[in-house]
Structures are given as structure tokens and as C-alpha cells.
Structure 1
Amino acid sequence: MNSIKNLGVFGEQIAAEYLRKFQYKIVQLNYRCRFGEIDIIAYKNNTYIFVEVKTRRNLSFGRPIEAINKKKKIHLLKVGQYYMQRLKGKDYNFRFDAIEVMVDPLKPPSINHIENIIL
């Protein structure tokens, strides 16, 4: 994992595996629309879950969740709302989660799933 992009892709794969383990259905990875991108769209219990994944090797720049600022939350909300509008006529719940992935070459990845980051 030499580049930041490779680290991010690795983190997204770990997060998707984690969600599958807890019976989330992965609907789409790296969903893109005119408003931007969301790392993972999952589905469970009649709810669409839009997941932002943040992966770090260490905490020198703070916890991964701290990178999801107000501007990023507004971005996620716009993308999620656009996606939900495209499910015309369907009555689904939705929420926004974050998954922090900490990667250490000497240990298994550490995962922290934070539900409802946009309230």
C-alpha cells in the first residue's frame, strides 16, 4: 500500500467485508453522480445506508472520523438524496454511516462503525 489511493481502496474492501459479515447487502461500491461519490451503499432492514470509509495507518492526523467535516457531510447528504430520489415510488429509510479502518502491517485491521453521522 504505497499510495494513499491504494490505502483507501484497501480500506473500502475491508469495510465492505465487515458489512457483509453483519448481513448488510452491498448495493454499490463507489457510487458516482453529478453531486459526487459515496464509498459504499449498503442495504439492511428496509434501510439504505450510505457509508463513508476513512482509512489511516496511524493517528498523527487525528481519528479518521475527524476528516468528515461539515462540508463533507453536506456533500454526502446531496449524493444520498439524489440516489434516493432515483428510487421512485419506493418508501425506504436511509442513513449515513462512517467506517474507520486503521491499518497496521503487524496486526489485523481495526474497524470502527459509526452509525448516523448526519442527524
Structure 2
Amino acid sequence: MANFPPSHYPDIGHLGEDLVAQWLQATGWIILHRRFSCRWGEIDIIAEYDRGAIGELSTQHSMLAFVEVKTRSSGSWDAGGRSAITPQKQAKICRTAGIFLAQYPEKADYSCRFDVAIVYCQRVLKNLTGVTANQEALATSSLPGYKLKLQEYIPAAFDSSIDNG
């Protein structure tokens, strides 16, 4: 069996983010940014949802979601990514969200929340046939050698307010 360099394998984190972004779009969200970064940190996905009437521009009905995506394979040490959302990580995401809102002041009056998406990535062997997983998924994606499942989407996963003042 060949021992390929790491660059030969896809980045499962990016694959998980792709799946979550596609699912968000399919459920009515608009993806504003992917991997928004500043000196304080990075936010995987920033999405907007307008709950106002069609054709009506109203910031009071708009929502921004700052989404942290955790993609894990079986046997991960951190409860599928949940325990990786430490208070320090939450603070970095909040600070980065504040920078985003400072750069886009027209969105500063939107309601904001911090969501977490848990994605399971499974390596698929070519000689394996049939369905091996029976747990429901919000969304799935397959590509050569991998199957991804959006296992859980947690809206408002941690409480925090963004203060631009």
C-alpha cells in the first residue's frame, strides 16, 4: 500500500464546512463568508437568514449565524467535536464576530447567534458495500473514499452578546 503525502488526502475540515454550507443554503440561509479570519481568529461560516416578507428589506427580521463546524472521524477524543468548543474558543469566535460586524456596519443591527455543526467523516473502503450507518443525518455527502454526515446542528450553541460599542 502506497504511503501518500498529507497533501494527497482531502482536508476533512473543509469537506465538513462544504456540507454544512450546502445544507444551510438548502434551508434558506445565504452564505456571506467562508473562513472569515482576522488576527483574533477564524469563523468557519457566516450566514444570513432574512425572516422578513419577500421583497421587503428589514434588518429587524434578519439573523446572522456565526457557525463553528467540527468534523471528526470515528474514535475522536473530543466527543465528536463538542468538547473542542472551549470557553477560550467561544471568546475567540465572539471577538472575530465583533470584527466582522465592525467591517460590515450595515449588519450591526441584525440578531446574531453562534451555532455549532457536528459532522462525522467516515473513510469508505472500495470493497465495502451496503449501508453501515443507521443513524439519521441532517445532510450527507459522498466523494471518492469518504462519506460525510451532518449529525447535529446546534443553534445558539453558546450565549454571548456582541458589543460593537
**Normalising TM by the smaller chain, what interval?**
0.7 to 0.9
- Relative distance call for 1:67 and 1:5 in structure 2 (3 A) is farther
> CA separation in 2, counterparts of 1:41 and 1:99?
13
In the other structure, the counterpart of 2:110 is 92
CA drift at 1:89: 5.1
One-letter amino acid of the counterpart of residue 104, structure 1:
Q
User: Would you say 1:103 and 2:150 are equivalent positions?
Assistant: no
State how far apart, in whole Å, the 1-side matches of 2:31 and 2:117 are.
14
TM-fit CA distance, 1:88? 2.3
Mapping of residues 71-86 of structure 1, within 5 Å: 71-86=88-103
The TM-score with structure 2 as length reference comes to 0.65
Q: Deviations over 1:55-111 (max 9, x none)?
A: 011143122122111110000000011111223254211111010100123464221
Alignment-derived partner of residue 114 in structure 1: 154
Question: What runs of 5+ residues in structure 1 fail to find an aligned partner?
Answer: none
How far apart, CA to CA, are the structure 1 residues paired with 2:121 and 2:64? 27
Larger radius of gyration: 2
**Preserved CA contact (<8 Å) 2:70 2:80:** no
Q: Which moved more, 1:75-84 or 1:97-106?
A: 97-106
Q: Structure 2: which 5+ runs fail to align? A: 1-5, 51-61, 125-132, 134-139, 141-147, 160-165
Q: State the alpha-carbon separation in 1 of the partners of residues 111 and 76 from structure 2.
A: 36
State how far apart, in whole Å, the 2-side matches of 1:5 and 1:66 are.
24
Aligned to 1:40: 45
Give the equivalent residue in structure 1 for 2:31: 26
So what's the TM-score if we normalise by structure 1?
A: 0.88
Moved over 3 A (4+): 2-5, 105-108
Q: Which residue among 47, 54, 57 is the counterpart of 2:73? A: 57
